[in-house]
Amino acid sequence: MIGAVQNLISNPSLYNMTQSTITQITTETCLKAVGRPGFILMDNNIDPQTKKFSSTKEFLYQMTCLGIYLVAVMPLLKKYSFKVARKLCKEDVFKAFDTASDFLKYHKMDEAGKLAKLEEINTNLKSGDKFVKSNIDEELGKGVTELTSIIGSVTGLAIVAPIASHPLIHPIMKFLGLDKNKNEKTEQ
């Protein structure tokens, strides 16, 4: 039992997966979407109808934020982060790969795969540049990808999503029959 837990904790696949900011944010937001409504439902000081309303609203808010982050914010950042980095920093890693997605595919490859990929990039180059594996700073490339992901998640989850989620949540709540105004009117 202890051995199985130790193997799970030091699992390289889990390590690689959780190194990605997108995985971290997705997992954490999903847990928040379960945890926060759960604690609202457990609160005995609130009446049942308000509990139902608040927990559904919190769940929808977290899921809408995650949806906006994954669908709207991240694709844009993945597309443009390397283009911006190329202008600011003259490193080979930004010249060799067009987008962060291309770099991440390369980063996940084994040694032979990486050499083959660089060979492929070099043959397709029109200029006389040649990229050597030792000049590709993978730590910098990965760092730029993750830092832009963190910036994107802050912008997406803390600024864009709260504004965008309000017009989305109320129609869904209405559709589910949990509209607060409607409930108040019925009570009156």
Binding site for other proteins (CB under 8 A): 6, 9-12, 14-15, 18-21, 24-25, 27-28, 31-32, 34-36, 38-39, 42-43, 45, 88-89, 137-144, 146-147, 149-150, 153-154, 157-159, 162-163
Q: How far is the CB of 172 from other proteins (least distance, A)?
A: 19
CB within 8 Å of 97: residues ≥ 6 apart: 82, 103, 106, 121, 141
Q: For other proteins, give the closer residue by CB, 47 or 120.
A: 47
Q: Of 82, 33, 83, which Cα lies nearest the Cα of 59? A: 33
Q: How far is the CB of 155 from other proteins (least distance, A)?
A: 8
Q: For other proteins, give the closer residue by CB, 31 or 116.
A: 31
Q: How far is the CB of 145 from other proteins (least distance, A)?
A: 8
Q: How far is the CB of 137 from other proteins (least distance, A)?
A: 8
Residue type, 24: Q
Q: Whole-angstrom Cα distance, residue 43 to residue 148?
A: 38
Could you tell me how far CA 1 lies from the centroid of its own chain? 33
Q: For other proteins, give the closer residue by CB, 113 or 143.
A: 143
CA angle 75, 79, 84 (to 5 degrees): 135
